[in-house]
Amino acid sequence: MAFKFKLPELGEGMAEGEIARWLVKEGDTVKEDDSIVEIQNDKSVEELPTPVSGTVKQIVADEGQTVEIGDTLIVIDDGSADDGEDEAPAAAEKPAEKAEAPKEEAKAAPAAKAEATGSANSNYLAMPSVRQYARDKGVDLSQVTPSGKHGQITKTDVDNFDGSAAPQAATTEAAPAAKTASAAPIAPFKSATPELETREKMSLTRKAIAKAMRNSKDIAPHVTSFDDVEVSALMANRKKYKEIAAGKDIKLTFLPYIVKALVAVMKEYPELNASIDDTTEEVVYKHYYNVGIATNTEHGLYVPNIKNADSKGMFQIAKEITENSQAAYDNKLSGDAMSGGSITISNVGSIGGGWFTPVINYPEVAILGVGKIAKEPYVDENGAIQVGNMLKLSLSYDHRLIDGALAQNALNKLKELLHDPDMLLMEG
Amino acid sequence: MAKKTVVDFAAIKKGLADNPEPIQVLNSKSEVVNKEVFESFSDDQLVEFMEKMVWERALHEQTMNFSRQGRMGFYAPTAGEEASEMGTVLAMEAQDYLLPAYRDVPQLIQHGATVSEAFLWSRGHVEGNKFKARSLMPQIIIGAAFVEAAGVGLGLKMNKEDAIAFTYTGDGGSSQGDSYEGMNFAGAYQAPVLFIIQNNGYAISTPRIKQTAAPTLAQKGVAAGIPSVQVDGMDILACYAVAKAAREYMLAGNGPVLIETLTYRYGAHSSAGDDPKRYRSEKEEKPWFDVDPLIRMRKLLTDKGLWSEEKEEKLIEEYKNSFKEAIKEADQVAPEKVSDMLKRTFEVPTPSIQEQIKEFEAKESN
């Protein structure tokens, strides 16, 4: 008879995972403890070994599919006695049971609430600190929709609660009307023509990106300053050293120059290399220069950073940019490579484009958007119109810490360094 | 200097860092650095040390697999700590009393529990606590085993038993108030307790260096009046020899001893999902992998003609099969019910517990 292998709980608080890759196919023979599947769990990938030997009868969950703890992933014919449909070692059932319990509670809490619409109801789950927070804000917790584990109401739920809306029970059918409240409630996407649409689950990486972007925009008030700089000298310099770099198996792009220039700018304007600690209302100035490069891959956006760029030469930086982006493509970036950043570069120039408004890689406070270099008329130092090679720069910054004048001064400095790469020798 | 100061605090602070080198018998290059101690071991003993470490490594690997198959409950990985754990427990006798923490399950098995009992313990099953070994079940509260050990040690002394209590905690546990209280009590009453701090570098994600300003963890015993030493925790010969000497010293009525073993946790803190890549670098890990306790013993024994790759592979296979048998045995035990746990909580259940028992029995029956 067949053994059903179900997704075990691979970490505390883990509710689901994504099938990253099957290492076996139907009909394959597997031996106990052979790795059979890779499960993507937030940003790490775990290989799961099979608990039984036998033949793969059916792969139940497809690659890319999100599965919950306790869901059957694969059916393996292990030749064991037929004990009925749900035959499995006793312990293998345990995680499934564990996952059941919270669900019941989650269901129970909102139901109890609906019964008591309008009246005070203490039958909800919230931590004492959240209850205090709600009292201080004058929010009635019995009206708040919980999003936490086990149906717990979180502080964010209280923040997102819109007091002007009617109680939950009455809003189930109401269309989300335009509201003045700052945080948008989570509303379903509805349309008149669902047959002309298809739906796909967001991957875990996509969800992580969405969360990070929203978080950055929620917390940091963004301002973007646009500017451009004439870079003929920079192009000539790169052209000259590109061959030498190639001889060392190094791909020299414009990025290392920009990394170097940004380091010099951050040294002069340390506010750009800082973070805000909201819990203590302190500005944290960083004495390291880790410059992130946003890297677009088919499985998501990653920002590995060049560690201690201030102590590295141009070739070394170029080499590390290539290595980091390769690791991103291969899904092999460590958390280490992506944490502790100073500032980020978002480069769309290789594809095209000019100015745009990049989103800060929070908790950093600035991000530089780099467009393509375009031939455009340009008035030179002598007042003559020339054909210039113009590089478009967009600097987004967190206005809580960085004011417009500071940002423009920093941009001016950056332009100076990119316009005359010899200056990089002096200051880079 | 213009004025003579009454005390030189800077010099005192500097003096705190002036400690003897950790005790070592076999260094990481498999060179014998303490000939006298080394020659006290027979060939059979040396082979046994290696076999026990291979056993513990195999237990770790198989348990990780069981964990990823959803067949385990809580598990604290032990890879890297074999010399520290096996070396110390092998120096003990069956009448000695073990007070383990949750990373000390291999020692508990070595001291008399069965592997299937250990697996049941991991699943939180009450049957996992019914082992015959002279030991309490592994303590989950960090550092609390040190307090229990002081009491057990005092009991052994009062009963005039020819036995000691031995207990383990980690570097994180040594930062807890409990660990000092336990040591102080044992010191005050001269109870025969061997306190072992397995310094594996991390309290979950907090590095040892950020936990305390003390230059060594061994010196935490000094304030309690306990002779305290640092031992190379990757050298099973040193761990065994020091634990053995401590046991003899304590049996002569000399009160407690503290051993700090310097070791390293190769993987995550627990199977509950912490990712070590988020708090330490590969650059830091590498040198520790190079001083692995199995590597140095393997080389020593191979050079002596007492060990071979085939022998090791055969042993691993045997051990892993025995673990697979053990988990089957554990699977035979019916899963615990919540109502059973509630019934055990009080001899006479309180009204609110009775209510809960009823509620869960109703759920469990369908």
Domains of chain B and any CATH numbers = 14-334 (3.40.50.970), 336-366 (no CATH)
User: Within 13 Å and on the Cβ side, how many CA atoms surround B267?
Assistant: 15
Give CA–CA dist A141/A161, Å, rounded.
9
Q: Hey, is the C-beta of A5 within 8 angstroms of any chain B C-beta? A: yes
Taking CB atoms and an 8 Å cutoff, what residues of chain B touch A7?
70
Return the sign of the alpha-carbon dihedral for residues B35, B37, B40, B43.
negative
Architecture of domain A105-171: Irregular (4.10)
Q: What does each C-alpha distance from A162 to A115, A173, A356 come to in angstroms?
A: 20, 17, 33
DSSP per position, A132-156:
HHHHHHT--GGGSPP-SGGGEEPHH
SS3 A90: helix
Q: In percent, how much of chain A has pLDDT > 90?
A: 46
Give CA–CA dist B282/B267, Å, rounded.
11
Taking CB atoms and an 8 Å cutoff, what residues of chain A touch B324?
32
Tokens encoding A234: 């920079």
Q: Hey, is the C-beta of B72 within 8 angstroms of any chain A C-beta? A: yes
Tokens encoding A214: 């929203």
Where residue A352 falls among pLDDT bands split at 50, 70, 90? Answer: confident
Give CA–CA dist A214/A16, Å, rounded.
22
Q: Hey, is the C-beta of B334 within 8 angstroms of any chain A C-beta? A: yes
Residues 263-322 of B with CB under 8 A from A: 272-273, 275, 277-278, 281-282
One-letter amino acid of B184: N
- Does residue B275 have a pLDDT over 60? yes
- Which pLDDT score is estimated for A1? 66
List, in order, residues 6 or more apart from A352 with CB less than 8 Å away. Answer: A371, A372
Stretch among A36-45, B20-29, B62-71, B256-265 having the lowest mean pLDDT = A36-45
Q: Hey, is the C-beta of A68 within 8 angstroms of any chain B C-beta? A: no
Residue in chain B lying closest to A101 (CA): B363
Give CA–CA dist A47/B69, Å, rounded.
10
- Which pLDDT score is estimated for A87? 42
Give φ, ψ of A190 to 5 degrees.
-120, 145
Query: Strand A305-306's sheet: what is its strand order?
Result: A222-230, A385-398, A366-379, A343-347, A291-293, A305-306
Domain ranges of chain A: 2-88, 105-171, 207-427
Q: What's the ipTM?
A: 0.74
Average pLDDT value for chain A: 82
Contact status, residue A375 vs residue A325, Cβ threshold 8 Å = no
Q: How far is B270 from chain A (nearest CA, A)?
A: 9
Residue in chain B lying closest to A95 (CA): B70
One-letter amino acid of B31: E
Taking CB atoms and an 8 Å cutoff, what residues of chain A touch B272?
11-12
DSSP per position, B224-247:
GT--EEEEETT-HHHHHHHHHHHH
- Does residue A333 have a pLDDT over 90? no
Give CA–CA dist B23/B20, Å, rounded.
8
Q: Residue count of chain A, please give it.
A: 428
SS3 A226: strand
Tokens 């963890």 belong to residue: B217
Residue in chain A lying closest to B328 (CA): A89
Between A185 and B35, where is the model more confident? B35
Taking CB atoms and an 8 Å cutoff, what residues of chain A touch B70?
6-9, 51, 91-92, 94-95
Fold: same for A2-88 and A207-427: no
* Average pLDDT, integer, range A363-376: 94
B11: enclosing H helix or E strand: helix B9-16
A59: enclosing H helix or E strand: strand A54-59
Q: Hey, is the C-beta of B20 within 8 angstroms of any chain A C-beta? A: no
Nearest to B192 by CA among B249, B109, B275: B249
- Does residue B346 have a pLDDT over 60? yes
Contact status, residue A313 vs residue A259, Cβ threshold 8 Å = no
- Does residue A318 have a pLDDT over 60? yes
Q: Are the Cβ atoms of A90 and B331 closer than 8 angstroms?
A: yes
* Distance, first Cα to last Cα, chain B: 85
pLDDT in tens, A174-198: 333 433 444 566 788 888 888 899 9
B35: how many CB neighbours lie within 10 A of its CB?
Answer: 9
Tokens encoding A47: 């290989």
Burial of A94 (0-12, 13-18, 19+ CB in 10 A): buried
Give CA–CA dist B113/B77, Å, rounded.
18
Tokens encoding A310: 């201030």
Tokens encoding A224: 């973007």
- Does residue B54 have a pLDDT over 50? yes
* Helix orientation angle between B351-364 and B338-345, rounded to the nearest 10 degrees: 160
Mutate to test the interface with B, among A3, A5, A10, A100 (most CBs of B within 10 A): A10
Tell how strand A385-398 and strand A222-230 pair up. antiparallel
Stretch among A193-207, A411-425, B88-102 having the lowest mean pLDDT = A193-207
- Does residue B269 have a pLDDT over 50? yes
SS3 A238: helix
Contact status, residue B150 vs residue B113, Cβ threshold 8 Å = no
- Which pLDDT score is estimated for A184? 60
- Which pLDDT score is estimated for A9? 81
Where residue B58 falls among pLDDT bands split at 50, 70, 90? Answer: very high
- Does residue A417 have a pLDDT over 50? yes
Nearest to A233 by CA among A219, A216, A254: A254
- Which pLDDT score is estimated for A428? 63
Phi-psi region of B280 (alpha: psi -120 to 50; beta: other; left: phi over 0): beta
Q: What does each C-alpha distance from B306 to A62, B54, B297 come to in angstroms?
A: 50, 15, 11
Contact status, residue A358 vs residue A224, Cβ threshold 8 Å = yes
Contact status, residue B53 vs residue B297, Cβ threshold 8 Å = yes
SS3 A221: coil
Taking CB atoms and an 8 Å cutoff, what residues of chain A touch B282?
334, 336
Tokens encoding A409: 């001064």
Return the ∠ at Cα B105 (arms to B160 and B249), rounded to 5°.
Answer: 35
* Distance, first Cα to last Cα, chain A: 69
Give CA–CA dist B299/B27, Å, rounded.
11
pLDDT in tens, B113-163: 999 999 999 999 999 999 999 999 999 999 999 999 999 999 999 999 999
Burial of B183 (0-12, 13-18, 19+ CB in 10 A): buried
Q: How far is A305 from chain B (nearest CA, A)?
A: 15
List active site positions of A.
399
List, in order, residues 6 or more apart from A329 with CB less than 8 Å away. Answer: A295, A297
pLDDT in tens, B293-343: 999 999 999 999 999 999 999 999 999 999 999 999 999 999 989 999 999
List active site positions of B.
265, 269, 279
Taking CB atoms and an 8 Å cutoff, what residues of chain B touch A90?
331-335
Q: Are the Cβ atoms of B70 and A44 closer than 8 angstroms?
A: no
Domain A2-88 has CATH 2.40.50.100: yes
- Which pLDDT score is estimated for A187? 81
- Does residue A101 have a pLDDT over 60? no
A384: how many CB neighbours lie within 10 A of its CB?
Answer: 8
The answer, yes or no, to whether the previous bond of B293 is cis (omega within 30 of 0) is no
Domain A207-427 is classified in which CATH homologous superfamily?
A: Chloramphenicol acetyltransferase-like domain (3.30.559.10)
Q: Are the Cβ atoms of A8 and B73 closer than 8 angstroms?
A: no
Give CA–CA dist A292/A361, Å, rounded.
9
Q: How far is B360 from chain A (nearest CA, A)?
A: 11
* Helix orientation angle between B82-90 and B236-251, rounded to the nearest 10 degrees: 30
